[in-house]
Amino acid sequence: MTLLLSVVIPTKNEQENVAPLVERLHAALRGLPYEIVFVDDSDDETPQAIRGLAGSYPVRLIARSGKERSGGLAGAVVEGMKRSEGEYICVLDADLQHPPDQIQGLLIKAREGEADMVIASRYRQGGSPEGLDGWRRNAISRACKWLAHVLLLGADRRLSDPLSGFFLVRRSLVASSNLRPIGYKIGLEILVRLQPRQVAEMPYEFAVRQSGRSKASLREGAVFLAHLLRLRREVPRPRSLPQSGSLAVEGKQGSDGAATLSLREYVIAKLKGSTTFVKFAIVGSLGYLVNQFFLFLVYDSPVLWFLPAKGTSVTILFVTYTDVRLLIAIVAGVEAAILSNFFWHNIWTFTDRTERLPMPLRFVTFHLTSIGSPIISGTTVAILAPRFGVNVYLANSLGIALGMFCNWVWNAQVIWRKGKEPL
Ligand SMILES: Nc1nc2c(ncn2[C@@H]2O[C@H](COP(=O)(O)OP(=O)(O)O)[C@@H](O)[C@H]2O)c(=O)[nH]1
Ligand SMILES: [Mg+2]
């Protein structure tokens, strides 16, 4: 009988995990012609445990030693794929982070959708990356994914989990290929080097490791970077990858078209997308200059000779102002900046969005937010510096950034909110 499925499992010091894993696999794959191929680089009792299972289950062991181990995890997977026999190959970790009961689903998807590769995804809707212990592993995982997209897969995000270690491929895809992976990301190697015609994704819940320890480390991070750069260097990247309609992903599907951008193209595309924000920042900087200029004009220049002289004190409603000319100058500076900002935002920054709120309402709300922004930055300094001992200038910078951010959100989302695109 020809084998339908080979389950390839790399192991390194997983003695506690292999027996429960094989039992769960057997329960999940009952009735299918399958085999399990362990490729082991352990220094503990894992090989003995695997041999013990071989009597009762269709289990094979490839035990590696010395130099054979140099390719690490990815090398082990390639070796397992080469020496297995099934029409489809499923790769998963030994630590029960990848649920065996999902394999049938991957297989069905591959056969029905005629996909060469089906990736089990932590990040597609319905899946979960919960097993990544701690926010640090989570952040690292997302950063690695981002890098892989930017450097290799293109900026559009059709694949939600290209770094998944849990996937299924058709043997014909990998059979005569020259894979040379280093590190952990064998799935990425297959995606980039073999450019499968059809790739599908299926969500799954990444579980926490059953027992034993993760072998991921800072060194693996460096190896990952080296792997990315090597793929970038060695694999010519077509402009459009894969062809239109060839990615059958579950759930939301991204736009088709160029999937592979160079880093430069990616940065330019990003910048183009953010021109509104750049204009917003330029207008804000101009407002700062206008404010300073009016402060000077009113307070120091001789033009407004009719105003009270510097240092004139005045009492209004029981409050005494020691320098009423300065007060007028501050108000004039702030108001001039607000008017300048409003004018430029209206005719330049948000020029394509002016239809939403009626002009007078826009004008009034803009005044309120313009005053709100210095209140936010002032409050931030007043709280952070004395209470938390943050350096005053650092606190001020944070406050200004926060004020500007709130201002931006309010302006872009409320005052000049984008209208719906006309059909
Ligand atoms: N054969 C082999 N397997 C490895 C090696 N390093 C890790 N593994 C296995 O690869 C799988 C994933 O490793 P793991 O430490 O769980 O990485 P993590 O899931 O990223 O924390 C597990 O089944 C490990 O036993 C290695 O150098 N050789
Ligand atoms: Mg793991």
* 38: three-class secondary structure by DSSP: strand
Give the closest ligand to the alpha carbon of residue 97.
2
User: Of 48, 25, 210, whose CA–CA distance to 104 is shortest?
Assistant: 25
Beta bridge partners of 121: 203
**CA distances to 39, 214, 411 from 406, in Å:** 54, 41, 8
- On the question of pLDDT at 186 being above 50, the answer is yes
Q: For residues 98 and 113, what is the distance between their CA atoms, to the nearest angstrom?
A: 22
Q: For residues 181 and 177, what is the distance between their CA atoms, to the nearest angstrom?
A: 12
Give the DSSP per-residue string, 172-211. Answer: HHHTT------SS-HHHHIIIII--S-EEEEE-BPPPP-S
Q: For residues 31 and 5, what is the distance between their CA atoms, to the nearest angstrom?
A: 12
Q: What are phi and psi of 310, to 5 degrees?
A: -55, 140
Would you say the CB of residue 223 lies under 6 angstroms from ligand 1? no
Ligand 1 site-directed mutation target among 215, 219, 224, most atoms within 8 Å of CB: 215
Q: What are phi and psi of 99, to 5 degrees?
A: -65, 120
Q: For residues 328 and 299, what is the distance between their CA atoms, to the nearest angstrom?
A: 8
- Mean pLDDT across 82-95: 96
Whose C-alpha lies nearest to ligand 1, atom 14?
214
* Nearest-atom index, ligand 1, CA of 95: 23
Weakest mean pLDDT among 128-142, 263-277, 310-324: 263-277
Global pTM exceeds 0.75: no
If you measure from the C-alpha of residue 97 to the centroid of ligand 1, how many angstroms do you get, rounded to a whole number?
A: 11
End-to-end CA distance of the chain: 57
Q: Is-cis flag, bond preceding 47, omega within 30?
A: no
Confidence of residue 1 (pLDDT cuts 50, 70, 90): low
Give percent above pLDDT 70 in the chain: 88
**CA distances to 374, 376, 380 from 398, in Å:** 12, 10, 8
Q: Hey, CA dihedral for 9, 107, 174, 132, is it positive or negative?
A: negative
Task: List pLDDT tens digits, range 26-80.
Answer: 999 999 999 999 999 999 999 999 999 999 999 999 999 998 888 889 999 999 9
Weakest mean pLDDT among 131-145, 252-266, 371-385: 252-266
Domain residue extents for the chain: 5-234, 276-417
Spell out the alpha helix ranges (H) of 235-274: 263-273
Q: For residues 299 and 330, what is the distance between their CA atoms, to the nearest angstrom?
A: 9
Question: Which residues have their alpha-adjacent CB atom under 5 A from ion ligand 2?
Answer: 93, 95, 97
- On the question of pLDDT at 400 being above 70, the answer is yes
Could you name the CATH architecture of 5-234?
A: Alpha-Beta Complex (3.90)
Q: For residues 414 and 268, what is the distance between their CA atoms, to the nearest angstrom?
A: 27
- Mean pLDDT across 207-212: 88
Contact (CB, 8 A) for 338 and 287: yes
Give the closest ligand to the alpha carbon of residue 216.
1
**CA distances to 76, 178, 326, 359 from 83, in Å:** 11, 15, 84, 72
What pLDDT is stored for residue 157 in this prediction?
A: 61
Rg (C-alpha) for the chain, rounded Å, is 31
Task: List pLDDT tens digits, range 284-316.
Answer: 899 889 988 988 898 888 888 888 888 888 887
If you measure from the C-alpha of residue 73 to the centroid of ligand 1, how many angstroms do you get, rounded to a whole number?
A: 6
Would you say the CB of residue 79 lies under 6 angstroms from ligand 1? no
Task: List pLDDT tens digits, range 236-262.
Answer: 765 444 433 344 444 333 333 334 455
Give the DSSP per-residue string, 407-421. Answer: HHHHIIIIITPPPPP
Q: For residues 360 and 344, what is the distance between their CA atoms, to the nearest angstrom?
A: 16
